[in-house]
């Protein structure tokens, strides 16, 4: 019984941690106890900081930054755009002829088999 409860707690904890995604805070941002300006502020996140965001609803997101946990406006969070581009390495570049070139197309020298006249 205890092991099944522990397994359930671990699964729920891992799913909650996987839900958060990093964002950039674009300006000084109040962290509030609820989703709206009518809720009291519990702290301020400085602009340029990175924070973790959970769910967002109607322009307000659950946010965590260090010890601060609460809600903040989605308008001041950058990270909701398209995913970053994936850069692949360029294919290798070969200089000169390929390996099959030498045996078939080397310079024709018919006079090397003849002695000088």
pLDDT tens for each residue of 72-102: 999 999 886 556 678 888 888 777 655 555 5
* pLDDT at 16 exceeding the cut of 60: no
* Residue ranges making up the domain that contains 47: 20-80
Is 86 inside a domain boundary?
Answer: no
Instruction: Please report, for the domain that includes residue 42, its CATH number.
Output: 2.30.30.40
pLDDT computed for residue 48 by the predictor: 86
Asked if the structure places residue 104 within a domain, the reply is: no
- Closest residue by Cα to residue 57 from 36, 29, 43: 36
- The rounded mean pLDDT for the chain is 76
Q: What percent of the chain has pLDDT over 90?
A: 30
Domain count across the chain? 1
CA distances in angstroms from 44 to 52, 95, 99, 101, 116, listed in the order given: 14, 58, 65, 69, 95
Within-domain flag for 60 = yes
Token duo for residue 88 = 């692949």
pTM, two decimal places: 0.54
């Amino acid at each position: 019984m205890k092991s099944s409860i522990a397994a359930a707690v671990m699964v729920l904890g891992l799913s909650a941690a996987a839900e958060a995604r990093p964002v950039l805070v674009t300006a000084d941002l109040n962290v509030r106890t609820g989703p709206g300006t009518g809720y009291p502020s519990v702290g301020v996140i400085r602009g340029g900081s990175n924070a973790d965001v959970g769910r967002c609803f109607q322009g307000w997101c659950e946010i965590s930054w260090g010890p601060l946990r609460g809600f903040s406006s989605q308008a001041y969070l950058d990270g909701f755009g398209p995913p970053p581009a994936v850069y692949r390495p360029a294919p290798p570049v070969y200089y000169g002829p390929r390996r099959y070139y030498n045996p078939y197309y080397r310079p024709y020298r018919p006079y090397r088999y003849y002695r000088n006249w």
